[in-house]
A and B are shown apart, each in its own frame.
Chain A
Amino acid sequence: MMQHALNEGLLLLRQRAGVSTVLALALAVPIALAGVGMAVYRWLGPVAELSGTESSIAVLLHPDLDTAERQRWVAAQSTAHPDWRITEVSSEELVRRLRRWFPYLEDLVGTGDATMPPLIEVATSDLESLAVLEGQPEVLAVGPQSSVQQLLGQVARRLSWALAVLSAVLLSAAVLLAVVWVHLELYRHSDELTIMRLVGATEGTIRGPFVVAVGVSGVVAGMVAVFGSLAAANGLTRMVTVLGLPEVVVTPGILAMQLATAVMLPVTAAAFTLSRHAREEFDS
């Protein structure tokens, strides 16, 4: 049975060598691109994580607020925003910080902390959520709400998602291509399949040669995809290392996935289509 499947499968391939090669290459392209997409997705990972880092933003409260009012306000904000970590900065700490930047501060405003507005710091990973503080009567000013790191992280995260979606779309295209390819091949051999069934061939005997033929084409497609994505990653690495950035690496896992996808897609499509062909013929 195996010998028969191998011989007949290779015969099928020989008879359609040109078409099989073109289709294998066509299958390799989306799989290779999906692999590169995954490698870049991984590469962007550490940068994308920056979008989730916590930043601490200074919020100046109105100087007229007494301690009790301030504590009530802080408690209310903590309840409303459980993800915020609110810490009160003491007047001494605020003076110390200001002195670092403004050595002549005391000459200007005199000594004592009575003149210092109450300062709190809100630590959160969602800086945009601080917008609710703007316009509150208790709040005098909110510090800058963006950080370059976070911005970079957000861009990288969006780019990662775009690449993941692109990879999924490309793999879907590969699935579609494999199904259409197998469908066309089986359509060409439809009469032959019917004859084989009429003379008593089992589905295994019929399926074997097609599985071998599309499996071999799948291996070719997989190898092309593997080498293609390695070459692409190499090219990207050359560009980014100039900027002092780390290499883009196509991991063995991604390579194995590419090879497996290239082989399994057409083989599964062949098995499924042949099974459906047999069922339709039997039911009719």
Chain B
Amino acid sequence: MIRLRNVSKDFEGRFILRSLDLQVEAGEFIFLTGPSGAGKTTLLRLLYAAERPSEGEVWVAGRRVDQLQRSRLPLLRRKIGVIFQDFKLLRRKTVLENITFVLRIHGVPPRESNRRAQQVLKRLGLQHRQGALPDALSGGEQQRVAIARALAYQPRLILADEPTGNLDADLASELLSLLCDINYQGATVLVATHDHAILESIPARALVLHQGRIHYDGMWPP
């Protein structure tokens, strides 16, 4: 599902990632962890083609992402559900519309979009907030909407950047079990987190990044 070959990324000479090699098989559940500034978010951005590597090859779902043409980008991104650290919700749209909009982009008919959006909102305990605008929601609620949006179209790959950052322990645990369910159904899940409680909660493969290099790659807890 994901393959990185000798990938480096630098911003004006400062290396964020250095010579990364990585292989993730379809259906894996992986934690990506490390201290702040280790390159977790940059690695995720490389995977959904928001950044291009300074060198190396990035392959996602059989496509070489670093050489992808602009016109092919939407097709790649429709295979990936991204849970952004800063939520990236459409401010002018309600909670429900934020989700149905993405489903409509994926070609889901309006009625089915509504049904599926409400289903996922119910699962994340947000059904009563479906008519609210994002600015009227708390940080935790916005994060759950971002999660709902990423899960609604059942992508083959889910990239989550600090998805539990604004959630309390119960909701964080609920989210993890949701991601596990989706993984169980066949999706590949990559969760970037620096929260050790999350890491300890389920046994899974973990990649520990440190100063742009993979410091540890194996089951967690070790």
Shortest CB-to-CB span from B160 to chain A, Å, is 14
A4-B104, A205-B105 given as contacts; is B73 within 8 A of A197 (CB)?
yes
Interface residue? B77 (CB, 8 A): yes
Give the segment of B56-64, B87-95, B182-190 that binds chain A.
B87-95
**Top 10 A-B residue pairs of the complex, sorted by shortest distance between their CB atoms:** A200-B77, A200-B78, A282-B70, A200-B74, A195-B88, A202-B74, A199-B102, A201-B105, A200-B105, A192-B90
Residue in contact with B70 in the complex, picked from A194, A199, A205, A278, CB distance below 8 Å? A278
Complex interface residues of chain B between 46 and 96 (CB less than 8 A to chain A): 48, 50, 70-71, 73-78, 82, 84, 88-92
Specify which of A4, A196, A198, A202 lies most central, judged by the most chain B CB atoms within 10 Å of its CB.
A198
Inter-subunit contact A198/B77 (CB<8 Å): yes
Complex interface residues of chain B between 86 and 127 (CB less than 8 A to chain A): 88-92, 101-102, 104-106
Inter-subunit contact A199/B105 (CB<8 Å): yes
Interface residue? B3 (CB, 8 A): no
Interface residues of A, Cβ cutoff 8 Å to B: 4, 11, 15, 191-192, 194-203, 205, 278-279, 282
Inter-subunit contact B70/A201 (CB<8 Å): no
Which residue of B is nearest A279, CB measured? B70
Inter-subunit contact B48/A198 (CB<8 Å): yes
Shortest CB-to-CB span from A4 to chain B, Å, is 6
Docked Cα-Cα span, A282 to B84, in Å, equals 19
Inter-subunit contact A200/B70 (CB<8 Å): no
Interface residue? B144 (CB, 8 A): no
A4-B104, A200-B106 given as contacts; is B77 within 8 A of A195 (CB)?
no
Which residue of A is nearest B50, CB measured? A198
Binary CB contact string for chain B from 149 to 191 against chain A (1 if under 8 A, 0 otherwise): 1000000000000000000000000000000000000000000
Q: Which residues of B contact A200 (CB under 8 A)?
A: 74-78, 102, 105-106
Residue in contact with A198 in the complex, picked from B71, B75, B88, B92, CB distance below 8 Å? B88
Shortest CB-to-CB span from A82 to chain B, Å, is 61
Inter-subunit contact A15/B92 (CB<8 Å): yes
Which residue of A is nearest B76, CB measured? A200
Specify which of B48, B71, B82, B101 lies most central, judged by the most chain A CB atoms within 10 Å of its CB.
B101
Q: Which residues of A contact B50 (CB under 8 A)?
A: 198
Q: Which residues of B contact A15 (CB under 8 A)?
A: 92
Which residue of B is nearest A1, CB measured? B104
- Besides A196-B105, A199-B149, A202-B105, 14 more A-B contacts (Cβ < 8 Å) are A191-B91, A192-B90, A195-B88, A195-B89, A195-B90, A197-B74, A198-B77, A198-B84, A198-B88, A199-B77, A199-B82, A201-B74, A201-B105, A279-B70
Inter-subunit contact B91/A192 (CB<8 Å): yes
Q: Which residues of B contact A191 (CB under 8 A)?
A: 91
Docked Cα-Cα span, A195 to B48, in Å, equals 12
Docked Cα-Cα span, A5 to B71, in Å, equals 19
Which residue of B is nearest A282, CB measured? B70
Q: Which residues of A contact B70 (CB under 8 A)?
A: 278-279, 282
Q: Which residues of B contact A201 (CB under 8 A)?
A: 74, 105
Q: Which residues of B contact A282 (CB under 8 A)?
A: 70, 73
Shortest CB-to-CB span from A37 to chain B, Å, is 41
Docked Cα-Cα span, A272 to B16, in Å, equals 34
Which residue of A is nearest B70, CB measured? A282
Complex interface residues of chain B between 167 and 219 (CB less than 8 A to chain A): none
Q: Which residues of A contact B106 (CB under 8 A)?
A: 200
Q: Which residues of A contact B77 (CB under 8 A)?
A: 197-200
Shortest CB-to-CB span from B81 to chain A, Å, is 9
Inter-subunit contact A198/B82 (CB<8 Å): yes
Which residue of A is nearest B87, CB measured? A195
Which residue of A is nearest B102, CB measured? A199
Shortest CB-to-CB span from A279 to chain B, Å, is 7
26 pairs of residues in contact across A and B, judged by CB atoms under 8 Å: A4-B104, A11-B92, A15-B92, A191-B91, A192-B91, A195-B88, A195-B89, A196-B90, A197-B74, A198-B50, A198-B77, A198-B82, A198-B84, A199-B77, A199-B101, A199-B105, A199-B149, A200-B74, A200-B76, A200-B78, A200-B105, A200-B106, A201-B74, A203-B71, A278-B70, A279-B70
